[in-house]
């Protein structure tokens, strides 16, 4: 399916003008491609075109309306059906409830073809099972690279478990599990990094309720399927974390210890994990009282205290002992880490710099970022600046936090 975001009102538009500004369009264009090349299921961006029109937007909903440049993103996906597409007719009730079954039949026919032969209501149960499993995998992918969606309502959840609708998203840089990139989320902190797995579960429950309300399966069966989410999430998460650490098996104490250290000194998540492969390669060398150089640089930027550094040293010794006990060779461990922990993400301030250049008519920085993000796991010569954590003076509304305004 092909969609034009920002091309104007459609027969299905609500009360808004159907337009999009260049600012939000650049963000979707870059981030959807960034996630794709990180190996995360997502819609894709085919093109980004400026319209030449002005679009009025109140970016922070504070009455400061500005005229911004308009744009259109052409985006692609096998299907743009969302959880909310099922939920709306179910909530409205009456004759509209029948649309839930029609929609489920459509989705199965075109996107879950292997389920068409299932008898009775079993095909709907199997579809829901598949969505629950794939959703658990998707949110684990996000958590692994620090992607925070920002607006995880049911209308922004894809029935195919794709990352969809890029609004006030952000990547977690200075490690803080309570990070939200959405300024309007701050009062309740509903969509923070740490809450995303639980929000996925809540949204899946709403989908299950909509399917059950249309008689596609009974409530108890829906709950039984939903109850599997926790185990699916845990299995996917432990597998991913083991890879990030270069280990054959997940070690909970080691992983939690690392996150506590990152949280205490607010070290950059991406750079911290990427630096671990050097620690892995040095597992038989003996580090004495020196933190390996790449991790040392991450901690220098984070302004870690001497006490915090001592904590890191103790953790490294425990980590290297576990690495030596693992059946994989040191090089295989490190290569696994380098294929799992990216060098480059779409950092919030770099995205903003590219937007400001595009607004001035220079798309060079957008194209440079896109080229970089196509090879996120490869060290690229002369690209050290793209690893730089967002400056503290920019780490707030306008750069690391935005509104839903498009």
pLDDT recorded at residue 406: 55
Predicted confidence (pLDDT) per residue in 82-107, tens digit: 999 999 999 999 999 999 999 999 99
Question: How is 150-218 classified by DSSP, letter by letter?
Answer: S---GGG-BTT--B---SS-EE--B--TT--SBGGGTTTTTT-TTTHHHHHHHHHHHHHHHHHHTTSS-
pTM, entire model:
0.95
Question: Is 90 exceeded by the pLDDT of residue 29?
Answer: yes
Predicted confidence (pLDDT) per residue in 225-237, tens digit: 999 999 999 999 9
77-80: which pairs have CB atoms within 8 A and are 24 or more residues apart? Answer: 77/1, 77/3, 77/43, 77/44, 77/158, 77/160, 77/162, 77/164, 78/1, 78/111, 78/160, 78/162, 79/1, 79/107, 79/110, 79/111, 79/158, 79/159, 79/160, 80/1, 80/3, 80/43, 80/158, 80/164
Q: Which residues lie closer than 8 Å to 342 by C-beta, 6 or more apart?
A: 38, 145, 270, 274, 376, 377
Judge contact between 137 and 160, C-beta under 8 A: no
pLDDT recorded at residue 128: 98
Q: Which of 155, 296, 332, 395 is catalytic?
A: 155
Distance separating alpha carbons of residues 177 and 192, to the nearest angstrom: 7
Bridging pattern class, strands 147-148 and 66-76: unpaired
pLDDT recorded at residue 308: 98
Bridging pattern class, strands 2-5 and 44-57: unpaired
Predicted confidence (pLDDT) per residue in 255-278, tens digit: 999 999 999 999 999 999 999 999
Question: Is 90 exceeded by the pLDDT of residue 10?
Answer: no
Positive or negative, the CA dihedral 62, 63, 68, 73 is: positive
Q: Given phi > 0 = left and psi -120 to 50 = alpha, else beta, which region is 262?
A: alpha
Using 50, 70 and 90 to split pLDDT, how confident is the model at 341? Answer: very high
Whether residue 264 lies in the annotated active site: no
SS3 280: helix
Distance separating alpha carbons of residues 110 and 89, to the nearest angstrom: 21
Using 50, 70 and 90 to split pLDDT, how confident is the model at 405? Answer: low
Distance separating alpha carbons of residues 173 and 395, to the nearest angstrom: 9
pLDDT recorded at residue 219: 97
Question: Is 70 exceeded by the pLDDT of residue 393?
Answer: yes
Q: Which residues lie closer than 8 Å to 269 by C-beta, 6 or more apart?
A: 146, 172, 173, 174, 175, 262
Q: Which residues lie closer than 8 Å to 367 by C-beta, 6 or more apart?
A: none
- Rounded to an integer, the average pLDDT of 179-193 is 92
pLDDT recorded at residue 12: 75
pLDDT recorded at residue 289: 85
pLDDT recorded at residue 172: 97
Distance separating alpha carbons of residues 86 and 62, to the nearest angstrom: 33
């Amino acid at each position: 399916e092909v969609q034009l975001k920002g091309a104007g009102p459609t027969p299905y538009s609500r009360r808004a003008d159907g337009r999009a500004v260049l600012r939000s369009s650049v963000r979707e264009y870059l981030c959807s491609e960034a996630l794709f090349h990180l190996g995360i299921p997502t819609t894709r961006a085919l093109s980004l075109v400026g319209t030449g029109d002005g679009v009025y937007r109140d970016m922070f909903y504070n009455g400061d309306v500005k005229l911004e440049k308009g744009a259109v993103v052409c985006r692609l996906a096998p299907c743009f059906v969302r959880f909310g597409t099922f939920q709306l007719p179910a909530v409205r009730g009456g004759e509209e409830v029948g649309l839930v079954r029609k929609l489920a039949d459509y989705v199965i026919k075109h996107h879950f073809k292997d389920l068409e032969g299932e008898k009775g209501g079993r095909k709907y149960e199997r579809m829901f099972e598949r969505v629950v499993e794939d959703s658990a995998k998707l949110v684990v992918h996000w958590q692994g690279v620090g992607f925070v969606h920002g607006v995880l309502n049911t209308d922004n959840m894809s029935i195919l478990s794709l990352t969809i609708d890029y609004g006030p998203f952000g990547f977690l840089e200075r490690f803080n599990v309570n990070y939200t990139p959405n300024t309007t989320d701050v009062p309740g902190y509903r969509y923070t990094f740490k809450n995303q797995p639980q929000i996925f579960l809540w949204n899946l429950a709403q989908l299950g309720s909509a399917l059950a309300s249309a008689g596609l399966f009974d409530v108890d069966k829906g709950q039984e399927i939903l109850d599997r989410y926790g185990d699916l999430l845990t299995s996917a998460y432990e597998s991913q974390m083991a890879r990030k650490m270069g280990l054959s098996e997940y070690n909970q104490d080691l992983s939690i210890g690392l996150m506590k250290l990152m949280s205490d000194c607010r070290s950059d998540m991406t750079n911290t994990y990427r630096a671990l492969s050097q620690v892995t390669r040095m597992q038989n060398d003996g580090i004495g009282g020196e933190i390996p150089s790449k991790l040392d640089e991450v901690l220098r930027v984070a302004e870690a205290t001497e006490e915090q550094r001592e904590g890191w040293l103790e953790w490294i010794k425990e980590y290297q002992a576990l690495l030596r006990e693992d059946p994989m060779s040191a090089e295989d461990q490190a290569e696994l880490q380098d294929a799992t922990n990216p060098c480059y993400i779409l950092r919030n301030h770099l995205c903003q710099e590219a937007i400001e250049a595009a607004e001035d008519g220079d798309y060079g920085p957008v194209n440079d970022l896109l080229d970089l993000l196509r090879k996120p796991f490869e060290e690229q010569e002369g690209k050290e600046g793209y690893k730089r954590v967002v400056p503290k003076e920019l780490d707030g509304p306008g750069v690391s936090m935005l509104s839903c305004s498009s």
